[in-house]
Amino acid sequence: MELHDIWFVLIAVLWTGYFFLEGFDFGVGVLTRLLARDRTEKRVLINTIGPVWDGNEVWLLTAGGATFAAFPEWYATLFSGFYLPLLAILICLIIRGVAFEYRAKRPEESWQRRWETAIFWTSLIPAFLWGVAFGNIVRGVKLDADFEYVGHVWELLNPYALLGGLVTLTLFTFHGAVFTALKTVGEIRQRARTMATRVGLVTAVLAAAFLLWTQADKGDGTSLIALVAAVAALVAALAANRAGREGWSFAFSGVTIVAAVAMLFLTLFPNVMPSTLNEDWSLTVTNASSSPYTLKIMTWLAVIATPVVLLYQGWTYWVFRKRIGTQHIADPVH
């Protein structure tokens, strides 16, 4: 295994970390509208992710920065090619961050409602668009000999990629519902479980369709294993949720995300962005990667820093391990 192969795996790990973590906080954002019955319940939901969403989002920035350093060509092609969808995601993430921080900073209801609307949409849109983006990465796009994307933005909205978007949206919402059940007390916890079952069933159908489509198109033996693991984990998560085993359910919905992302990256390898115009114009781990020297430095960084990050982020979850309910929401002092 050469360094650029290791970095392919590490980039996959970073995206997996991002989807695992921000996945549930996107999901919770979507559920503020689907699950909460009143504004106090909305606040309960928002506060389940309050201390952690910002740290979760850094996984995206790290995936971006690491792709820049380890696969500059991939970084350049991906973000200049998927320009407008990425712009939409960035706009959402900007508004979303401000919405969390500023929502409770004024007592006026109109002010708070506006930010609540923002939280819903800016969670939903990126949750959908990341699936569209990864659908297109796996499927391949029109890249020319200079690795420039030459297709139109509408071509990114093809059926396969759109299905991918629905999968991430529903999967993250399911993941968020399971997380909510794990992190709340009282009536909302019960409703979160019911919601998880409903969303989970829809997710199962969509995810199975998307992953089978992927398998039929690009799959091999190993990707089939990942597919089976993803589907099995989703079923296990649903079963655990029904049985009231919330911790297990969350673990399994996490495994679903891990396995699904793993499957996408397995079908991608050794490409990082296939060209549909000419196979020779595909970006691969070899022609997109940095020099061995840079990759070596980056590997040292990853080996030393990542476990430390996992340690203190994990500690954060432990510090805020208490479940919260409507009784824990005080009117903030203005």
Partner 1 sequence: MDLALAPETLARWQFGITTVYHFLFVPLTISLAALTAGLQTAWVRTEKEKYLRATKFWGKLFLINIAMGVVTGIVQEFQFGMNWSDYSRFVGDVFGAPLAFEALIAFFFESTFIGLWIFGWDRLPKKIHLACIWMVSIGTLLSAYFILAANSWMQHPVGYRINEEKGRAELTDFWLVLTQNTTLNQVFHSFSAAFLTGGAFMAGIAAFHLMRRKHVPVMRTSLRLGLVTLAVGGLLTAISGDTLGKVMYEQQPMKMAAAEALWDGEEPAPFSVFAYGDVDEGHNKVALEIPGLLSFLAHSDFESYVPGINDTNEALQEKFGPGDYKPIVPVAYWGFRWMIGFGMASLALGVLGLWLTRKKFLLPAAYRTGEDEVPHLVLFRRPLGARLGRLYWLLTVWTMAFPLIANAWGWIFTEMGRQPWVVYGVMQTRDAVSPGASTVEVVTSLSVFTALYAALAVIEVKLLAKYVKAGPPELTESDLNPPTKVGGDPRDADKPMAFSY
DSSP string, 59-116: HHHHHHHHHHHH-HHHHHHHHHHTHHHHHHHHHHHHHHHHHHHHGGGS--HHHHHHHH
Contact between 157 and partner 1 by CB under 8 A: the answer reads no
Helix (H) or strand (E) holding 284: strand 283-284
* Least Cβ distance, residue 317 to partner 1 (angstroms): 10
- Helix, strand, coil shares, percent, the chain, to 5: 80, 5, 15
From 324, 253, 287, 313, select the one nearest 23 (Cα to Cα). Answer: 253
* Least Cβ distance, residue 111 to partner 1 (angstroms): 10
Gap between the Cα atoms of 5 and 140, Å rounded: 20
Please, which residue, 205 or 301, has the CB nearer to partner 1? 301
Please, which residue, 110 or 291, has the CB nearer to partner 1? 291
Please, which residue, 238 or 302, has the CB nearer to partner 1? 302
Nearest 5°: the CA angle 83, 127, 210 is: 95
* Least Cβ distance, residue 50 to partner 1 (angstroms): 5
Under a CB-based contact definition with an 8 Å cutoff, are residues 14 and 63 in contact?
Answer: yes
* Least Cβ distance, residue 90 to partner 1 (angstroms): 6
Return the SS3 of 292. helix
333 phi/psi in degrees, rounded to 5: -80, 125
Contact between 146 and partner 1 by CB under 8 A: the answer reads yes
* Least Cβ distance, residue 47 to partner 1 (angstroms): 5
* Least Cβ distance, residue 327 to partner 1 (angstroms): 5
* Least Cβ distance, residue 264 to partner 1 (angstroms): 20
Please, which residue, 7 or 250, has the CB nearer to partner 1? 7
Contact between 9 and partner 1 by CB under 8 A: the answer reads no
Please, which residue, 39 or 242, has the CB nearer to partner 1? 39
Gap between the Cα atoms of 156 and 137, Å rounded: 10
Please, which residue, 243 or 305, has the CB nearer to partner 1? 305
- Residue that the structure tokens 């407008």 belong to: 84
DSSP string, 33-62: HHT-SSHHHHHHHHHHHTTTHHHHHHHHHH
Contact between 1 and partner 1 by CB under 8 A: the answer reads no
Contact between 106 and partner 1 by CB under 8 A: the answer reads yes
Cα-based distances in Å from 132 to 113, 126, 139, 232: 29, 10, 10, 23
* Least Cβ distance, residue 142 to partner 1 (angstroms): 11
Contact between 145 and partner 1 by CB under 8 A: the answer reads no
Size of the site for partner 1 (CB under 8 A): 83
Contact between 95 and partner 1 by CB under 8 A: the answer reads yes
Residues within window 45-84 making contact with partner 1, judged by CB under 8 A = 46-47, 50-55, 57-58, 60-62, 64-73, 75-81, 83-84
* Least Cβ distance, residue 280 to partner 1 (angstroms): 16
Please, which residue, 82 or 210, has the CB nearer to partner 1? 82
- Helices 246-268 and 221-242, axial angle in degrees (round to 10): 160
Residues within window 253-312 making contact with partner 1, judged by CB under 8 A = 290-291, 293-294, 297-298, 301-302, 305-306, 309, 312
Contact between 247 and partner 1 by CB under 8 A: the answer reads no
Contact between 37 and partner 1 by CB under 8 A: the answer reads no
Among 105, 212, 278, 286, binds partner 1 (CB under 8 A): 105
